[in-house]
Amino acid sequence: MRKLDSIIVHCSFTKPMQDIGAREIREWHLERGWSDIGYHYVIRRDGGVEIGRDIRRPGAHARGHNSRSIGICLVGGMSPSGDPVANYTDDQMDSLFFVIGILIETINPMRVIGHNDVSKKPCPCFNVAEWFNIGR
């Protein structure tokens, strides 16, 4: 297994009515010339968790952090008018908390952060570390 130090939460930057999953995101990333989907997990609007890239392989989700992190993508993050917004469902947030808990228990990465903590992008449109620590 790779040496991991963080879980990085992302968003698909799609509108709430766009209920996409790992298959669609994989297609988008392959169209960009990537070898596979960039995220290790995708959490759909209904809270369903889908497997993306094999966790033993570095992701393609956070430049400079891929080799030592796990990427989780929440579907959503865009308002109907196209602005960044944390419009995730309660089911998604429950699933995110559950997946992170399992990963910490089994792999023990040290940090839980958002893409916005390592990039100038708004993704995932909320403070992940604060949210996670409040829920613990």
CATH of the domain at 84: 3.40.80.10
Question: Does residue 38 belong to any structural domain of this protein?
Answer: yes
Which helix (H) or strand (E) segment holds residue 135: the answer is helix 128-135
Beta bridge partners of 71: 8
Name the residue type at position 9: V
136 residues of the chain, pLDDT tens digit each: 789 999 999 999 999 999 999 999 999 999 999 999 999 999 999 999 999 999 999 999 999 999 999 999 999 999 999 999 999 999 999 999 999 999 999 888 779 999 999 999 999 999 999 999 886 5
**Annotated catalytic sites, by residue?**
10, 39, 115, 121, 123
Question: Does residue 1 belong to any structural domain of this protein?
Answer: no
Question: Does residue 12 belong to any structural domain of this protein?
Answer: yes
Question: Does residue 73 belong to any structural domain of this protein?
Answer: yes
Could you tell me the residue range of the domain that residue 40 belongs to? 6-133
Considering its fold, how many domains does the chain have in total?
1
Question: Does residue 126 belong to any structural domain of this protein?
Answer: yes
Question: Does residue 55 belong to any structural domain of this protein?
Answer: yes
Q: Please tell me the pTM assigned to this model.
A: 0.95
Query: What is the DSSP code (8-state) at residue 106?
Result: H
Question: Does residue 96 belong to any structural domain of this protein?
Answer: yes
